[in-house]
Amino acid sequence: MKSDNGPPFNGDDYSQFCNERGIKAIFSTPHFPQQNGMVENYMKIINKAMAVAVSTGSNYNEELQAAIQAHNAASHTVTKVAPEEIMRGRRIKRGLPLFNRNRPDHDDDALNERDREMKLKAKEREDIRRGARKCQLMPGDTVIVERPTRTKGDSRFGTQRYTVMQQNNGNLVLSDDEGRTIKRHVSQTKKVFEWRSRPANKDTLPWEHKDGNPVQRAARNRKAPSHLQDYVCMVEDN
């Protein structure tokens, strides 16, 4: 079961519930909702039902159930079959009478193959649109992490440095100097390059001159214009 890192999924009750039923809990990367896009997209239906209940003053439980039933009764754009028919293996009787009460004749393998192909096409399209590339970070690299929130004067990335402990398809496990670990996506980090071994010393700056003479800039050759050659330049000493 895949979920985000919200408070309901971080407690001992949820962990015990999954362990008793043999459920493997998979958590998405924190602060990266794109990784759990299917659930985030389904939240649009719930938010819309809640907005309708608030605007009309009706019961939000009834509006939520109506929205979910309408979603499950409509044919899916990928499988071309209603989700409730796949889940229950029969056609559900609604307000309109059913002319065909036979069991739906769909092949589960064909639906799974069609779903896999559509997901691969969507992945390729999004990779091109987002400019995705292979992760270049390796365990042992030093990175800085993007700030979750920032004010006008803050930089995009914080100053705290982390060491990459694990890397799995862009999902990073980072550790700081005190041994605390966090999880971030590669798009939320930036590699730190050590281009200077030690801080520069003012006494040994390469552009500093010990004699104290000012450095003169190179000047071009200057001469009087040709139309002033007939005149004599006189300089009076005071």
Domain-by-domain residue ranges, the chain? 1-31, 32-130, 142-191
Res 70: pLDDT: 86
Given a contact cutoff of 8 angstroms between Cβ atoms, the answer to whether 43 and 18 are in contact is: no
* Whether the predicted model's global pTM rises above the 0.75 cut: no
Residue type, 34: Q
CATH topology for 142-191? SH3 type barrels. (2.30.30)
Res 81: pLDDT: 84
Tens-place pLDDT, residues 110-137: 888 888 999 899 889 988 998 888 888 8
Residues paired with 161 in a beta bridge: 144
Q: Per residue in 144-155, is it b (16+ CB within 10 Å) or e — as a string?
A: bbbeeeeeeeee
Closest CA to 172 of 157, 188, 161: 188
Res 195: pLDDT: 63
Under-50 pLDDT residues of the chain: none
Closest CA to 181 of 218, 210, 139: 139
Res 190: pLDDT: 92
Q: Which residues contact 104 (CB under 8 A, 6 or more apart)?
A: 81, 85, 89, 90, 91
